[in-house]
Amino acid sequence: MSLKIVGLSDMQFSVHPEDVLITYSLGSCIGVSAYDPRTRIGGLIHCLLPAPGNHQNSETNPFKFVTTGVPAMVRSLVQAGASQHRLIYKGAGGANIRSQFHIPIGTRNATALKGVLAYNKTRLTAEEFGDDIPRTMSLHLGTGRVVIRTDGHEHDLV
């Protein structure tokens, strides 16, 4: 098994069934997995913000934003041999961690994701957004299993 770590504002994908993609500390950020069960090609992204703002440029790093990162991940998966029509999407994170600004970034990230998927005529098959806890999310390429770990406990995202 090879563990591939997905950092903040990052995306990783693999065509190797023995690989596991993992991202840590999804607070207000969201993690999104996309998986083709036939080819066992999948990707995992860790998005920081819903969309680029006035002074933010998605060209430098499209994975920072939900609205640019998720489509970029899908393009990478399709180029690697996945079928866009078979992709299964799961999402987690989007916590509303208390901040001095009281901006519900977590909720805005989850809403942006659902909008991007709806625009492309697809949806999440499983999700775990909200609360005020950080999550770790992993995608097991051999099976498509997505695991969420928080506070020392883990469960499948189904």
- Domain boundaries in the chain? 2-156
Q: CA-CA distance, 1 to 120, in Å (whole number)?
A: 33
Bridge partners, 138 (sequence order): 22, 147
Question: What token pair was written down for 64?
Answer: 């920072």
| Per-residue confidence (pLDDT) for residue 104, from 0 to 100 | 87
Q: What is the pLDDT of residue 143?
A: 98
Q: What distance in Å separates the CA atoms of residue 17 and residue 98, rounded to the nearest whole number?
A: 38
Per-residue pLDDT of the chain (158 residues; tens, 9 = 90+): 799 999 999 999 999 999 999 999 999 999 999 999 999 999 999 999 999 986 666 678 999 999 999 999 999 999 999 999 999 999 999 998 765 566 789 999 999 999 999 999 999 999 999 998 999 999 999 999 999 999 889 999 99
Q: Decide: 92 and 99 in contact? Cβ < 8 Å.
A: no
Contact assessment for residue 139 and residue 79, using Cβ atoms and an 8 Å cutoff = no
Q: What is the pLDDT of residue 98?
A: 67
* Count of Cβ atoms closer than 10 Å to residue 117 Cβ: 19
> Which positions ≥6 away from 90 have C-beta within 8 Å?
32, 33, 35, 124, 125, 126, 127, 146, 157
Strands (DSSP E) contained in 27-122 are 30-36, 41-47, 88-93
| Residue 12: Cβ-neighbour burial (10 angstroms; 0-12, 13-18, 19+) | buried
Question: What is the per-residue pLDDT for 99?
Answer: 59
Q: What is the pLDDT of residues 125-151, one digit of tens each?
A: 999 999 989 999 999 999 999 999 998
Domain 2-156 has CATH 3.40.228.10: no
Report CA torsion sign: 79, 129, 8, 66: positive
Whole-structure pTM value: 0.94
pLDDT value at residue 101: 60
